[in-house]
Structure 1
Amino acid sequence: MKNALITGATKGIGRAVTIAFAKQGINVAICSRNDKELFDFKAELEATNPKITVAATVADCSKRDELKKFAEFTEKKLGFVEIIVNNVGMYKYSTILNDSDDSFQKQVDTNLMPAYELYRFFGKSMVSVGKGHIFNICSVAAINPVVEAGVYSVTKYALLGLNKVMRLEMQEYGVKVTAIIPGSTLTDSWRGQEVDETKMVKPEDIASAIVTILGMSTGANVDEMIIKPAPGQL
């Protein structure tokens, strides 16, 4: 049975991916800053598939010490982690010149640092075993920057760059690395805005794509996958 760690697992894309993994019989490690939200979701996952192990602990992934404790907890509870989904992120609507003084560091710590640290924590064990798959949830803002979300765009550019380096470092060891690049996706980022849900990507679409990629043969890797709304970006 495979083991997966998913950051930002209780909402949006992370939630959809985690549910999809549970249905596939994959053990999952999840965390959240909100203990009730976390353990309600744990119970939901265990009801979805009673055969899997759900390792859940309260942690804030934007804080390096708490992130490392989550990684250590996961390894202790599940053993070898074969799949990592770096999904945790924050979106802030602001141009760089008008942004708050703490915005850059907050978004780096949320959108970029966790993927870097989890790669360093689990990467060598993946190399030693000769298998694994890391998914980095990027954004089309990593390709076409959104000037109204300046720092967010910068961090997603950096995450896509990190993905490329990780893939090149890992490819000779049989470890796969994939950047998932979603367009306008129906998550909490759009809360309070009037949108046509029928013209957006659903979190379940991202989850389905990841499950499909995991099912590919050993010799195949999807370097990057862009998933946009059929009518175009909102």
Structure 2
Amino acid sequence: MKNALITGATKGIGRAVSIAFAKQGINLSICSRNEQELSDFAKELQQINPQIKVFTTLADCSKLADVKNFAVFTEKNMGFVDIIVNNVGMYKHVSILNDSDDSFQKQIDTNLMPAYELYRFFGKQMVSVGKGHIFNICSVASLNPIAVAGVYSVTKYALLGLNKVMRLEMQEHGVKVTAVIPGSTLTDSWKGVEVDKNTMVLPEDVASAITNILGMSAGANVDEVIIRPAPGQI
């Protein structure tokens, strides 16, 4: 039975991936900032598959101490972590010139730092065992910047850059690294905006891509997977 760690697991893509993994019999270590949501979701996952273990940590992944605590807790309870899904992130719809003074650091700490720190924490063990798979949830803004989401675009560009470095470091050691690059996805980022879900990527689509990639042969690595809305970006 494999073990997976997922950041920001109670909503959106993280939630969908957690459910998909539970159905596949993968043990889960998940975190969230909301204790009640975390507890309720853990029970839901156990109902989906009573055979798996679900470990929860209350964590604000924009805080280094919380990220490290989550990593230590996960290793203590799970041992080897086969899969890391760096999902946690924040989207801010504002140009760089009009952004708040604290926005750059906050988005770096949320969209980039957790992936970097979890890689440093678990990477050497993956190398020593010669297996593992890291998924970094990027964005089409990693490829084509969005001027009205300036700092977000910068941090997502950086996350894709980190993904490429990870992959080069890991490829000779049997560890896989994949950048998942979704376009307009129906998550809480769109709360309050009226949208047609049939014109968007669903979190379940991203989860399906990840589970399919995990099912590939040992010799295949998907460097990047881009999932855009069929009618184009919203």
**Shorter-chain TM-score range:** over 0.9
Residue 73 of structure 2 aligns with which residue?
73
User: Are 1:32 and 2:32 an aligned pair?
Assistant: yes
Residue 101 of structure 1 aligns with which residue?
101
Residue 204 of structure 1 aligns with which residue?
204
Residue 184 of structure 1 aligns with which residue?
184
Provide the secondary structure at the position in 1 that maps to 2:57: strand
CA drift of 1:117 comes to: 0.1
Cα separation, 2, equivalents of 1:142 and 1:128: 31
| 1:162-205 deviation digits (Å, cap 9, x = unpaired) | 00000000000000000000000000001111111110000000
User: Are 1:139 and 2:123 an aligned pair?
Assistant: no
Between the aligned residues of both structures, percent identity stands at 79
Cα separation, 2, equivalents of 1:39 and 1:196: 31
Cα separation, 2, equivalents of 1:48 and 1:10: 15
Cα separation, 2, equivalents of 1:17 and 1:33: 18
| 1:146-177 deviation digits (Å, cap 9, x = unpaired) | 00000000000000000000000000000000
Residue 61 of structure 2 aligns with which residue?
61
Cα separation, 2, equivalents of 1:57 and 1:160: 26
Residue 225 of structure 1 aligns with which residue?
225
Runs (5+) with no aligned partner, structure 1:
none
| Amino acid in the other structure paired with 1:35 | E
Q: CA RMSD in A?
A: 0.4
Residue 46 of structure 2 aligns with which residue?
46
Cα separation, 1, equivalents of 2:43 and 2:175: 31
Residue 168 of structure 1 aligns with which residue?
168
Q: TM-score, normalised by structure 2?
A: 0.99
CA drift of 1:113 comes to: 0.1
Cα separation, 1, equivalents of 2:41 and 2:67: 19
| 1:107-139 deviation digits (Å, cap 9, x = unpaired) | 000000000000000000000000000000000
Cα separation, 1, equivalents of 2:201 and 2:28: 24
Residue 15 of structure 1 aligns with which residue?
15
Number of residue pairs matched by the alignment: 234
Cα separation, 2, equivalents of 1:57 and 1:171: 30
Q: TM-score, normalised by structure 1?
A: 0.99
Cα separation, 1, equivalents of 2:78 and 2:22: 14
Runs (5+) with no aligned partner, structure 2:
none
Cα separation, 2, equivalents of 1:31 and 1:48: 18
Cα separation, 1, equivalents of 2:15 and 2:191: 16
| 1:53-111 deviation digits (Å, cap 9, x = unpaired) | 00101111110011100000001111100100000000001000000000000000000
Cα separation, 2, equivalents of 1:57 and 1:96: 33
Residue 154 of structure 1 aligns with which residue?
154
